[in-house]
Structure 1
């Protein structure tokens, strides 16, 4: 098939933008990823790999490579294959994105991604108000405010912590381009539009209202601000922009807390309640009401996962056996509340320790810190913020079990790696010319 280089680059960029935007919709995104793979197989001769690219590909593919290495440890090979299938994007993305690294238009992809995703969320918010007026009336009356974010996320088709992890990254990208618009001295109307999109994106993080994602977003904002100051571009203008953003964010946060007083309770007493009941949740009256999402439940799960992991060193229980083995352990240790709701590990490092033994957390750290290295080396606030958001999200959840974590991180890791290779190639070329 004949396709000019210019048209191939355009189609490749469209694929990357669409995959990024559709990442919050599993089925259409999965179909698009398959089409993307077929497209690249047709033009496989365009792929180019350096030794450094191959190292990055191995780092990004390391979770699925670990599953293959320890595949023999699964009780059921059929279930083991099913577990592998969920991680195939960790092979596909590195090959087809890093192999086309010279074609990655990083700024265009991130701009289109955060802008359209924010508009999509606005559409779903309007839809939520129209389709569920009874819920809106209930929340307006101050009833069951704890469930707003989860109900909204359900209407989108995602689990709230996963959706908000995505939205936290969207908001960080939006803030980055607010500073970018001033650095590039864009037209006032475009600057204003970027402000509005950022504030909207921040509102959605608040609306879904999951603790870890909100913390990650705030840390990401600080990182982006730090690199804006580090750029030494018009410090006065950066300061004025930062103060304006801070005031507007503070206003949104104040109004949101006023309308949702449960937020104060959620981030204080609810989070840290019953910490003396770690491993003894059944002693709490109605734990499903009082501590379902509290830290004490997470710590109880982690304690069980840690104890079970130590019993199964050095190779773990197997990729497909992690959750069943943990559920059996809850029952064996008379933790009936945890057994009833079959809680997963809620910590990616413990999850990999349980499944894969000693190599598990090492591979999880390699996978995540590859992103950190790319961001640090490029001095790029977007990439470093992604690492922070994904890393801390996996301290209280296990996103390498789910499509919305596996594909999300695999896609952006590959884009970041491709962008890093591209910048290094430009640097070497300039040095050679010099």
Structure 2
């Protein structure tokens, strides 16, 4: 099959932009990844690897490699294969993206992803308003304000923390492009459209309203601002633009908090309630209503998870058996609330420690740490913001168990790695 280099480059970048946008829709995105892999197999001779890119392939594929190395420890062959299958994208993405690293247009892909994802979420928001008027009415009245973000995420087809992790990265990227537009002498229309897209993206983070995403998006904004200060000579203009954007952000937050007073409660008393009941949640009257999403529940899970992991060192309980062994341990230690809802670990390092023993958290640290290394070496606020976002998200959740965490991180790590390789080649030639 013949294809010009120009068209091949367009196809590769088009695939990656589309996969990034469709990441919040598991089934269509899975199909796209398969088509992307088949497309590259047709043009396998175009792949080109350096020693550095092969090292990156191994680092990005490390969770998959760990699953393969520890496969013998699974009690069930079928469940072991099912667990292994989830990580295949961590082989597909580095092989075919880093194999085409010189063709990848990082900023173009990022811009398309940020703008298109925000527009898609706007469509889903309008759809939500039309199809769920009873929830909107309750929200306006101030009833069950905790419910709206999760209900909206379910209408998109995602778990709220996972959706908001994606949206936080989108919003950070949107702010980056606002600064980029304000820095240029382009038309006012483009500047205003960038600001509108950014405000919408931030509004959706607030609307879904998960704590880690809100924290991470603010840290990401700070990193983008610092990067802008360091790169631009006209400090006065940067500070003026930042003041303008801060006023807009403060206005959005103020309006949102006025509409959603539960946000104040959620980020203070609800989060830190009943911390004296760690490991004793059944002593709380109606724990479903009082501590389902509280920190004490996470800490109770972590306490049990740590105890289970220590008992099964050095090799863990097996990839396919982690959750069922944790639930079994909840029952053995008479923690009925945790057992009833079969809570996962909510910490990726601990989850891999339970499943794989000592090697587990080391691989997670290497995997996520690779993103941090790329961000620091590139001195790139977007890449480092992604590292911070994914690292902290996996301290309170376990996104390397889910498609929307595995494929999401593997895709962007491979794109970041391509950008890093391009910069390395440029530096070596100069």
Deviation at 1:159, TM superposition (A): 0.2
Deviation at 1:182, TM superposition (A): 2.4
In structure 2, what is the equivalent of residue 13 of structure 1? 13
In structure 2, what is the equivalent of residue 47 of structure 1? 47
In structure 1, what is the equivalent of residue 194 of structure 2? 194
Q: Does 1:422 align with 2:418?
A: no
In 2, the alpha carbon distance for the partners of 1:131 and 1:241 equals 38
In 1, the alpha carbon distance for the partners of 2:186 and 2:267 equals 39
TM-score (norm 2): 0.99
In structure 1, what is the equivalent of residue 308 of structure 2? 308
In 1, the alpha carbon distance for the partners of 2:135 and 2:56 equals 47
Q: Does 1:142 align with 2:137?
A: no
In structure 2, what is the equivalent of residue 247 of structure 1? 247
Query: Superposed, which structure 2 residues align to 1:286-305 within 5 Å?
Result: 286-305=286-305
Superimposed CA distance per residue, residues 25-83 of structure 1 (whole angstroms, 9 cap, x where no aligned partner): 00000000000000000000010001110111111100010010000000011100000
Deviation at 1:300, TM superposition (A): 0.2
In 2, the alpha carbon distance for the partners of 1:411 and 1:209 equals 25
In 1, the alpha carbon distance for the partners of 2:233 and 2:130 equals 45
In structure 1, what is the equivalent of residue 348 of structure 2? 348
In 1, the alpha carbon distance for the partners of 2:58 and 2:183 equals 36
Question: Comparing 184-193 with 275-284, which one deviates more in the overlay?
Answer: 184-193
Query: Superposed, which structure 2 residues align to 1:407-418 within 5 Å?
Result: 407-418=407-418
Query: Superposed, which structure 2 residues align to 1:94-113 within 5 Å?
Result: 94-113=94-113
In structure 2, what is the equivalent of residue 61 of structure 1? 61
For 1:158, what is the secondary structure of its paired residue?
Answer: coil
Query: Superposed, which structure 2 residues align to 1:191-270 within 5 Å?
Result: 191-270=191-270
Q: Does 1:118 align with 2:153?
A: no
Contact 1:183-1:233 within 8 A present in 2 as well = no
Contact 1:106-1:419 within 8 A present in 2 as well = yes
Deviation at 1:426, TM superposition (A): 1.6
In structure 2, what is the equivalent of residue 385 of structure 1? 385
Give the aligned CA root-mean-square deviation in angstroms: 0.7
In 2, the alpha carbon distance for the partners of 1:128 and 1:263 equals 20
Superimposed CA distance per residue, residues 242-262 of structure 1 (whole angstroms, 9 cap, x where no aligned partner): 001111100000010000000
Superimposed CA distance per residue, residues 369-406 of structure 1 (whole angstroms, 9 cap, x where no aligned partner): 10011011111111000011111110100000000000
In structure 2, what is the equivalent of residue 359 of structure 1? 359
Contact 2:319-2:356 within 8 A present in 1 as well = yes
Query: Superposed, which structure 2 residues align to 1:25-44 within 5 Å?
Result: 25-44=25-44
In 2, the alpha carbon distance for the partners of 1:231 and 1:183 equals 11
Structure 1 segments unaligned to the other structure (5+ residues): none
In structure 2, what is the equivalent of residue 375 of structure 1? 375
Contact 1:164-1:210 within 8 A present in 2 as well = yes
Deviation at 1:184, TM superposition (A): 3.0
Q: Does 1:158 align with 2:158?
A: yes
- Deviating 4+ runs (over 3 angstroms): none
TM-score (norm 1): 0.98
In 2, the alpha carbon distance for the partners of 1:356 and 1:318 equals 6
For 2:271, what is the secondary structure of its paired residue?
Answer: helix
Query: Superposed, which structure 2 residues align to 1:320-335 within 5 Å?
Result: 320-335=320-335
Structure 2 segments unaligned to the other structure (5+ residues): none
Contact 1:57-1:94 within 8 A present in 2 as well = yes
For 1:226, what is the secondary structure of its paired residue?
Answer: helix
Superimposed CA distance per residue, residues 340-387 of structure 1 (whole angstroms, 9 cap, x where no aligned partner): 000000000000100011011110000001001101111111100001
Contact 2:15-2:36 within 8 A present in 1 as well = yes
In 2, the alpha carbon distance for the partners of 1:138 and 1:206 equals 17
Superimposed CA distance per residue, residues 134-175 of structure 1 (whole angstroms, 9 cap, x where no aligned partner): 111111111110011000000000000000000000000000
Deviation at 1:189, TM superposition (A): 1.4
For 2:75, what is the secondary structure of its paired residue?
Answer: coil
In structure 2, what is the equivalent of residue 22 of structure 1? 22
In 1, the alpha carbon distance for the partners of 2:11 and 2:158 equals 28
For 2:130, what is the secondary structure of its paired residue?
Answer: helix
Deviation at 1:233, TM superposition (A): 3.2
In 1, the alpha carbon distance for the partners of 2:123 and 2:159 equals 18
